[in-house]
Structure 1
């Protein structure tokens, strides 16, 4: 089983890379500037084209759209959240997901049972609105919406799409006070990817298998 993981050089992506290899997957991890990974800037059409060219006609059985940024942690409502921060966040967290799916759609169609897993967050759920982190929350809500609509459009060609909350994970992004380790998150997410099918396409689930409210 060939899996492509964006943002595989650190955090959840790195842990998923290791976990899926342990499960027998052939993993192609991507990163922007690290030699041991396939180069990919998810926001760049040219980089996307180069990545797709490098993969050639190799089937992709599972695409994990993991690359993401959280730029507005310390922003305040009075004078924070500058426009360029909105643009940069959406470029990576939303447009980057779409461009990656678009670039690898031919490779996914070469698989007998292709799947796309989008790492979103419960911070993008409309049912949770504790305030703050406006840009990150909005971008993850958009990624959730994107995944749901991709699930509708891709079902007829046999591609299942799932959207996942990885948990509050102890990473550089999640901070040291997270609830779970990257290993726990990766183990749970790997189980979710295994369970994903056309019957469950469009799901929004937590890392430990609970349906999440939209």
Structure 2
């Protein structure tokens, strides 16, 4: 199985890449800088196209859209959340997912049972709205909506799409007070990706196997 993981140079992405490599799978883990794997800036259409060309005629069995940013942590409602911060987050967390999927559709089409996993967050859910982190919450909600609609359009092509809350993970983004480590999150997510099928496409699931409310 060939697995492509965006943002695989740190955190959950790195843990997923390590987990699949240890399982003997063929892993292509990307990084924006290109220092820790093939270069892929998901916000840049040319970078996405170049990455896709670099895969040649290889099939992609599983695409994990993991690259993401959380720029507005600690921002103040009265004075914070500048427009450029909104643009940065949506370019990576939403447009970046779409551009990556779009560029790799021919490679997904070459697989027998292709899958796309989009890493969103419980912060995307309408059922969890405690305030704050407006940019991150809105971008992850948009990623959830994107995944749901991709599931509709890609189902007839035989491509299953799942959207996932990875847990509150001890990473640079999640912080030291988070509930679980990256390896534990990756193990649970890998199990969920295995279970993903056309029968469950469009589902919003947690790392530990629960349906998450939209």
The TM tier, using the shorter chain, reads over 0.9
Counterpart position of 2:2: 2
CA root-mean-square deviation: 0.6
CA displacement at 1:73 relative to structure 2: 0.3
**Quick one: distance in 2 between partners of 1:183 and 1:161?**
23
Q: Over residues 143-200 of structure 1, what are the superposed CA-to-partner deviations in whole Å (9 max), with x where a residue is unaligned?
A: 0000000000000010000000000000000000000000110000000000000000
SS in 2 for 1:208: coil
SS in 2 for 1:180: coil
Take 1:171 and 1:160, find their aligned partners in 2: how far apart are those partners? 28
- Which residues in structure 2 correspond to 1:1-214 (within 5 Å)? 1-214=1-214
SS in 1 for 2:88: helix
What is the CA–CA distance in structure 2 between the aligned matches of 1:25 and 1:163, rounded to whole Å? 22
Alignment partners' CA distance in 2, 1:161 and 1:50: 24
Task: Could you tell me which runs of 5 or more consecutive residues in structure 1 were left unpaired when the two chains were aligned.
Answer: none
Normalising by the residue count of structure 1, what TM-score does the alignment of the two structures yield?
0.99
Give the number of equivalent residue pairs: 214
TM-score (norm 2): 0.99
Aligned 8 A contact 2:34 2:40 in 1: no
Q: Please state how far the C-alpha of 1:48 moved relative to its aligned partner.
A: 0.6
Q: Supply the distance in 2 between the matched residues of 1:23 and 1:154 (Cα, whole angstroms).
A: 28
- 1:92-138 CA-to-partner distances (Å, cap 9, x unmatched) read 00000000000000000000000000000000001100000000000
Distance 2:82 2:139 in 1: 15
2:162 alignment partner, SS class: strand
